[in-house]
Structure 1
Amino acid sequence: MMSKIFILIFISLITLNSNCNKISWNPTTKLKWSDFKGSIPEEKSLKTAVTFVQIEIEGEIYEDEIPNIQIVTYFLKDKSWTIVNDKETLVHEQLHFDIAELYARQIRKEFKILVQEECSNFKLYEKIYQEKVLQHGIMQREYDSKVYFNEKEQKQWQEKIAKELEELKEYEYISDNE
């Protein structure tokens, strides 16, 4: 009995520790420089900060053969780093996080359609996820290339992403913890 309790506590600590490294996207919580805890690479090129985000599938629970999947956007503290602390760069890095949430909402929207069609073919869900994650990476690179040292472009991207997030607001992830 004692070993089962120890294993349960150990697993709980692993889960707790990994969750401490993650910040799930939330419309009211913005990134702070203190969230950037990653090691600065020796070869960082021209970058002054990096935001590492993930769009994760959680759940994979089946209800009547239909997947019940949650898509969550995370900022990873231990992989994100900075050598600056100015407001403009933080706004730029926040938008990387927001772009990830935009693609997560697109995935949630398409998954909802599949669920409504009672699709039990997990390969279709996986295909949508992979395509959207690929598109997400392309948009992240495009964002960086267009706004680099360009305040006007940065503002336009902020407005564009805010508008698109609002259009997909019904697909915003609401955590059970909130």
Structure 2
Amino acid sequence: MLTLVYIYHRATMLILIQIISLLFYSAVSISEDSDQFAWSAERKLTWDDFKGKPTKTNPAAALTFTDIHISASYTNGKINVEVKNFFDKKLSWTKNKTSASLLKHEQVHFDITEVHTRILRKKLSAIASEKSLQNGSFNKESSKLLKEWHEFQEKYDKETDHGLIAAKQKEWEDKVALLLKEE
């Protein structure tokens, strides 16, 4: 009976992990040559990374499309969680390829995504190590943290007026740089 319960519990966890992987992770191999690349402290954005077409109805000067990929696997009785931050070249665009301040503003968007990627990685790894996936805490925490990431991005744009308020932009650059060091 104990073996049956263990097998059922393990099978339930495997199914949950497969569902989570399907919902949150693209199994496509992502390399520097592709349309996406992972965040790196050594690699800063350049205007050449912005390959998308601006929409005429969007008043923004640029749009940075970043994404957090979450995957989970189950090996030798252990749940492994992988969380990565990617920049999408085809979905990111700019109307102004000469503004250094605008590029810096867009870099901070990518950096904010990295901060939240690290938070997600830490919290989801803790949940996985507790093997508490069966009660939905993994999905709940993922949803909550992804919502916080989007709200943080919106707050950044609002407080800096999309990078137009230089003093606020500098405050946010310093704030995000500090968060990157802490996480």
TM range (shorter): 0.7 to 0.9
Residue of structure 1 equivalent to 2:143: 130
Paired residue secondary structure (1:128):
helix
1:75 to 56, 69, 87: 87
CA contact (8 A) 2:63 2:92 kept: yes
Give runs of aligned pairs for residues 56-75 of structure 1, distance below 5 A: 56-58=69-71, 60-75=72-87
The number of equivalent residue pairs is: 153
Matches within 5 A, 1:29-40: 29-40=43-54
**Distance in 1 of aligned mates of 2:135 and 2:51:** 36
Gaps of 5+ in 1: 1-13, 169-178
Which residue in 1 is equivalent to 2:68? 55
1:21 pairs with one of 24, 30, 35: 35
CA distance in 1, matches of 2:135, 2:39: 25
CA distance in 2, matches of 1:93, 1:122: 38
Measured in 2, the distance between the counterparts of 1:16 and 1:54 equals 12
| TM-score when normalising by structure 2 | 0.77
CA–CA separation in structure 2 for the residues paired with 1:101 and 1:24? 9
Q: 1:141 to 1:100 in 2, by over 3 A?
A: same
Q: CA deviation at 1:121?
A: 2.9
Identical aligned pairs, as a percentage? 29
Asked if the contact 1:66–1:120 (Cα under 8 Å) also holds between the matched residues in 2, the reply is: no
Q: Which residue of structure 1 aligns with residue 55 of structure 2?
A: 41
Whether the 8 Å CA contact 2:120–2:142 is kept in 1: the answer is: yes
> Structure 1 residue runs of 4+, over 6 Å off?
16-19
Shift in Å at residue 65 of structure 1? 4.7
TM-score, length basis structure 1? 0.79
Cα 1:131–1:38, aligned 2, differ >3 Å: closer, same or farther?
Answer: same
